[in-house]
Amino acid sequence: MSEHHAVPAAHDGAAGDGHATMSIEAAGDEDLEAITRIYNQSVVAGGASADLHEQTREERQAWLSSHEPREHYPVVVIRMGGEVVAFASLSRFHPRAGYDHDAELSYYVDRGKRGCGLGRALVTWGIEAARARGFTKIIGVIFADNAASVALMKRFSFIRYGVLPEGSRDSQGVLHDVSYWYRALEASV
């Protein structure tokens, strides 16, 4: 199943008319540097990742390779002006086979492009991609104080089904409550 969508960006962060085109495309090895850079922005800043140290290219390669089969567990990037500015993935929610009907959505946006609608585009992509692959639920696992991601979950009618108090520490040593969200998916028509 090919991933490629061209959609108008709400704002591209540059001067002009604000109607830059972004494309959502399947991620490849050539995107690893950008994926690693964007992910590490969240690790270093704290508040959005449970990784305590910046990830190496090799660690991100292992993460990318873990999405197998790729047709079922895709990883995509958003390109604007040829530059990777965000990425997302559908992953196994749990290694036990009884959970195989659920997919976990993760997404990260370059700090210079936040607030431009890229998170909305990636959540929209995730819902559509999960539905097309026959998943019955899409799940988000986020720090409960991550206001932007909480707002996205609410905007897309995800239901918070649990909170693990002080469930994770970030790279800054801050303990965060971890919130669990899901959205039931109707069958693809």
Summarised one tens digit per residue, pLDDT across range 171-184 is 999 999 999 999 99
Evaluate whether residue 95 is within a structural domain: yes
Structural domain of residue 29, as residue ranges?
Answer: 4-8+21-184
Residue 14, in any domain of the structure: no
User: Is there a domain that residue 65 lies in?
Assistant: yes
Q: What is the pLDDT of residue 187?
A: 64
pLDDT at 1: 40
Question: Does residue 104 sit within a domain?
Answer: yes
DSSP track, the chain = ---EEEEE-S--SSSSSS--EEEEEE--GGGHHHHHHHHHHHHHH-SS---SSPPPHHHHHHHHHTS-STTTS-EEEEEETTEEEEEEEEEES-SSGGGTTEEEEEEEE-GGGTTSSHHHHHHHHHHHHHHHTT-SEEEEEEETT-HHHHHHHHHTT-EEEEEEEEEEE-TTS-EEEEEEEEEE-PPP-
Is residue 48 included in any domain, yes or no?
A: yes
List phi, psi (to 5°) of 125.
Answer: -55, -45
More confident residue, 23 or 14: 23
pTM of the model: 0.87
> What is the distance between the alpha carbons of residues 109 and 112, in angstroms, rounded to a whole number?
8
Q: How confident is the model at residue 21 (pLDDT cuts 50, 70, 90)?
A: confident
Q: What mean pLDDT do residues 131-141 have?
A: 97
- The per-residue pLDDT for 6 is 47
Q: For the chain, what is the domain count?
A: 1
Averaged pLDDT score across all residues of the chain: 89
Sign of CA dihedral 177, 114, 126, 86: negative
CATH number of the domain enclosing 163: 3.40.630.30
Residue at 153 is within a domain: yes
Stretch 162-170: mean pLDDT: 96
115 domain-assigned: yes
